[in-house]
Chain A
Amino acid sequence: MTSMQTPTHTLKWPNPHLDMAAFEAEGELMLLHLGPQHPSTHGVFRIDLYLDGEVIVKAVPFAGYLHRGVEKLMERLTYVQQTPIVDKHDYVAPMTSEQALNVAFEKLLGVEVPRRARWLRSLFAELQRIASHLLALGTLSIDLGGALGGGSTLFIHCFRERELIMDLFEEVTGARFHYNTHTIGGNRHDVTPEWAAHVRSAMKTILARLPEYDSMSIDNSIFIERTRGVGVLDGRLALELGVTGPNLRACGVDHDLRRDAPFHAYDEVPVNVIVEQGGDSLARVLVRVREVRESIRLVEVLLEGLPEGPICSYRPIKLVGQVKIASGQAYAAIETPRGELGTFVIAGGGEGNASPYRLKFRPPSLHSLSALPYLLPGATLSDAVTILGSLDPIMGEVDR
């Protein structure tokens, strides 16, 4: 333990590494462990809260309770074997996890993806964004608890609509999640016109039911009271921390990789970037709620213009060691429901260069959670779960 001997912290931001010994001398502080097993930590995550009465003085987050050593595993597996593994990272949005990995490999190999496959990837990503934002809203409502009709009413509603999207993916890939549908150079499963009809009917259902959600969340005065002004994140601090996605756009920063560094089909399909100015928990929820509507619009546009053609440009994979890359480094990123999910690959590992030498993920949730030591001090204990829930972290990709 080499902590807290060298106070090099500048005065740019409040110091998250306060020395508690000075406070403890007054004998007023209470140390409370929130997690690692707690229903509102969204998985296994622990925060040590130093409380003065009900107000948080210092928050020390502890990650790693789900650290599964995936980056080490990737050095042992070949490029072909890795797609089903990354499904388990962001298990609320496995489609985008797969895409982030394969985009990096394609960049390293110089493989171009056929147009239909790029449109399909965008289509899957938008459907996944709707499912993920619905789950984020549902779990946040449970965190907020009793005042919202037991909290679980909105949760039950959100899962009802999320199941529709699970059905759509199951129809294409055969799995509810952990799809393993992306591969180097394209996709493995094509879609049918009947599937497109199913998507349209599902989108219609969801769009018709969205006002129900609004009335239970962003139009509900109790919900607004619990979230407005809670956990205000400064936009400049968010950029320094590397916070991305809806959490960054809620701070008034107009940044979305779908528009700013287009991947898949987003150079052909313009995206309306949703920005909110508040920076608080309510703004983060508002961004997600509005993004669901934007994603429904994008799904309809993408379905309408889905081009014909092949869905994979790379040779069919027959052997696990088929893809070999001798050297080179590449980083490629896409915009997932939680922000910029990137993969940094150094090629040239394993037997016959069939594995990466080093593979590092850039998980958006880890960067979001690193804002907690700045957001929590000054908030009350009941606000802590609101702030954590509104950041929408997924521990699978935080700890990997």
Chain B
Amino acid sequence: MAIDGKISLPVVGPGDERERTYEHPLYKQLLSVPGLSLGVTSLDALLTWGLRNSLWVFPMATSCCGIELMAAAASRVDLDRMGTIVRATPRQADVMVVAGTITVKMAPRVKKLWDQMPEPKWAIAMGSCAISGDFYRDLYPVVPGIDTFLPVDVYIPGCPPNPEALMHGLLRLQEKVRLQRLGQFATPEPRPALLASTKPSIPRLNDPEREAETNEQQTADAMKTADSAVERPEATGSSAASEALSPAPALEGTTPPASWLESLFAAHGALAFPKDAPPLISADRHVALARALQERGYKQLVYIAASHWLAGRGRAGADASETEHFEVAFALRTVGRASQLASWSVRLEPGQSLPTLTEVFAGADWQEREQWDLLGVKFSGHPDLRRIMMPDDWEGHPLRKDYAADTHRAPWR
């Protein structure tokens, strides 16, 4: 298995689990000695008891489920009382808990860490991302379930599962370990007394008297009164019309707040100042504009956001005269009280590159790398224009409109 994104992982099929059951090489030989079996089996039962009550967890925690894994290991639920200790190195662990989304870039690392764990070992898929990819399942960078490349023993559903659910899963795994040593593979529910032990050691703030129903009723009532009190017309979509109906919220505007700002934009190639979009600046003067704004107090870089427009689409919706193009939006902010936002856009033809902002704003480095990676917008003069999100050998730019969201990457799909 290569680490550089080349995929050569074996796909696990049914039946592998039986082969994976660990057995010491001397076990059968010892059993064949007459009279010794009594001692060996007792010793084996003792070792199995010890094994199943000291399942050390390796947290392959990538995202949200990892926080619940931390919460399970922390004070309230306290995994330690089942002999489960979280170890940060695979070489000291028995169980890999995959908690979170596994991406195409991360999967080879997960597999490598799994291979570093000593036998006997087990894997738990915690949360719906690890089980199936959840709603990211069809997206280009996500592995649809870790059982495409790992043999999973226990699945814990939830988004994310409660710490108690994780504890339940670990109890099921203990049961499985016990039965595996007996040569059985079915996993009945663990004993009720065990299940009761998943109850948190510190009680919840409001455990018995939970009144969700009344809460929901109140919400429904409030929604009803809100609906009758505020008669709003169908949201037609014309934002100019909605602006006329209600005053704009007291947030910073995308329209230029001051006239000197408009004149500054005009001096850098802006022809129009639409109400609902940043003005368009000519590509060769936008670095000068950023510098001018920085000198006038717009010192904080806010965002750089490129977008891809196919032929026939323009700012005002469908527009047959439009050709394929890119728009890159920039925003700067003043610091301190009454902070103002200044934003502008640059229109680029396909293949055209934009002068980099890195000399004016050091933060443009990563922002421009991201836009290059995801949309393929080139920034000339950038000191380090590499991919930032996708693996280096990825083909295509995912956020382009002609890039299918579920572009396949074998063998995970």
Contacts and interface: CB of A to CB of B under 8 A. Distances in A.
A65 B105 contact: yes
A260 interface: yes
B121 to A, nearest CB: 16
A242 B301 contact: yes
Nearest to B331: A331
B336 A260 contact: yes
B218 A313 contact: no
B70 interface: yes
A314 B229 CA distance: 11
B71 interface: yes
B237 A353 contact: yes
Interface stretch (A155-163, A224-232, A382-390): A155-163
Interface residues of B, number: 117
Given A71-B399, A327-B276, A344 B303 contact: yes
B149 interface: no
Given A108-B239, A239-B300, A103 B251 contact: yes
B219 A328 contact: no
A67 B105 contact: yes
Interface string B211-241: 1101100110011011101101001111100
Contact of B135 (A85, A186, A316, A330): A85
Given A76-B405, A160-B75, A240-B301, A177 B160 contact: yes
Contacts of A73: 135-136, 139, 405
Contacts of A9: 358-359, 383
Interface residues of A, number: 131
A362 interface: yes
A50 to B, nearest CB: 15
A374 B135 CA distance: 37
A254 interface: yes
Interface in A63-111: 63-73, 75-76, 85, 87-88, 91-92, 103, 106-111
Interface stretch (A21-29, A188-196, A286-294): A188-196
Contact of B381 (A6, A67, A201, A395): A6
A260 B339 contact: yes
B164 to A, nearest CB: 10
Interface stretch (A167-175, A214-222, A276-284, A298-306): A167-175
Interface in B67-88: 67-68, 70-71, 74-76, 88
A346 B399 CA distance: 14
Contacts of A103: 249, 251
Contacts of B341: 261, 331
A320 interface: no
B335 A255 contact: yes
B389 interface: yes
Contact of A177 (B64, B247, B249, B343): B64
Contacts of B386: 1-3
Contacts of A347: 237, 239
Contact of A358 (B105, B205, B307, B398): B307
B159 interface: yes
Nearest to A63: B388
Given A66-B106, A240-B363, A255-B336, A329 B254 contact: yes
Contacts of A396: 63-64
Contacts of B210: 171
Given A67-B141, A76-B405, A344-B305, A8 B359 contact: yes
A135 B78 CA distance: 17
A171 B205 contact: yes
A92 to B, nearest CB: 6
A263 B248 CA distance: 12
B205 A168 contact: yes
Given A110-B245, A159-B74, A4 B384 contact: yes
Interface string B345-364: 00000000000101111110
A330 to B, nearest CB: 6
Contact of A178 (B64, B254, B390): B64
Contact of A399 (B356, B383, B389): B389
A392 interface: no
Contact of A2 (B237, B331, B365, B385): B385
B62 A43 contact: yes
14 contacts: A39-B88, A64-B391, A66-B101, A68-B142, A110-B246, A159-B70, A171-B210, A177-B67, A178-B160, A260-B339, A261-B251, A310-B225, A324-B235, A344-B303
Given A65-B109, A91-B67, A241-B363, 19 more contacts: A64-B389, A64-B390, A68-B103, A87-B64, A103-B249, A108-B239, A110-B239, A111-B246, A114-B226, A160-B76, A190-B219, A201-B205, A242-B363, A259-B337, A260-B335, A261-B338, A262-B250, A332-B251, A332-B252
Q: Which 9 A-B pairs have the closest CB atoms?
A: A326-B237, A110-B242, A159-B74, A310-B226, A328-B276, A91-B64, A241-B363, A328-B239, A360-B305
Interface of B: 59-64, 66-68, 70-71, 74-76, 88, 100-101, 103, 105-106, 109-110, 113, 135-136, 139-142, 159-160, 162, 202, 204-206, 210-212, 214-215, 218-219, 222-223, 225-227, 229-230, 232, 235-239, 242-243, 245-252, 254, 276-278, 299-303, 305, 307-308, 313, 315-317, 329, 331, 335-339, 341, 343, 356, 358-363, 365-367, 370, 374, 381, 383-392, 398-399, 405
